């Protein structure tokens, strides 16, 4: 990643091609991109998988991104939260190698503590850098903020029993 001065952005402890302990699956439909993340959070893997998400957003011209990270484990440090928010905003807002900046898509992250920071540091950092993003503890609030229509809801949640499963708090 290159900063606005033209110099590479170096994040301490981040090594391209490092241990990938986190995976994402992206499923596009119209302007919606549903992302599911699994595994253990490390800053390396979170950054690399976010680049994959940005590529999918660009490829499918997605405008609404529902990022379901409820299956992630780990406990990011304060500085990792800061670096991830900064990195995500830069990845979305700055041009890539073969693309212009994204057209400010709307990202809703659904996470559970301790991955979800109660003070929302990463969210604040990303918003302050121009990214349209919010973090939530549940799907209901996330899809409401995204403004999903009934077709989007059916696509993401499927039948009503799956909708209820997706909106229940974990045990």
The residues, any chain, with a CB within 8 Å of residue 127's CB and separated by 6 or more, are 89, 133
pTM, to two decimals: 0.79
Domain boundaries, the chain: 22-167
121, 33 contact by CB (below 8 A): no
118-156 residue pLDDT tens: 999 999 999 999 999 999 999 989 999 999 876 767 766
Q: Is 167 left (phi over 0), alpha (psi -120 to 50) or beta?
A: alpha
**C-alpha 152 chain-centroid distance:** 18
CATH code for 22-167? Answer: 3.30.750.24
Percent of all residues in the chain with a pLDDT value above 90, rounded to a whole number:
64
């Amino acid at each position: 990643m290159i900063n606005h001065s033209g110099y590479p952005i170096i994040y301490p402890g981040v090594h391209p091609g490092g241990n990938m302990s986190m995976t994402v699956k992206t499923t596009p439909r119209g302007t919606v991109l549903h992302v599911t993340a699994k595994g253990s959070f490390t800053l390396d893997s979170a950054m690399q998988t976010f680049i994959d998400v940005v590529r999918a957003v660009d490829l499918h011209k997605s405008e609404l991104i529902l990022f379901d990270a409820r299956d992630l484990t780990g406990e990011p440090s304060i500085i990792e939260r800061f670096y991830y928010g900064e990195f995500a905003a830069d990845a979305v807002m700055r041009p890539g190698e073969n693309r212009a900046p994204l057209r400010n898509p709307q990202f809703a992250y659904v996470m559970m503590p301790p991955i979800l920071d109660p003070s929302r540091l990463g969210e604040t950092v990303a918003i302050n850098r121009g990214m349209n993003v919010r973090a939530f503890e549940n799907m209901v609030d996330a899809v409401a903020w995204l403004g999903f229509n009934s077709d989007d809801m059916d696509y993401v949640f499927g039948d009503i029993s799956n909708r209820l499963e997706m909106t229940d708090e974990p045990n």
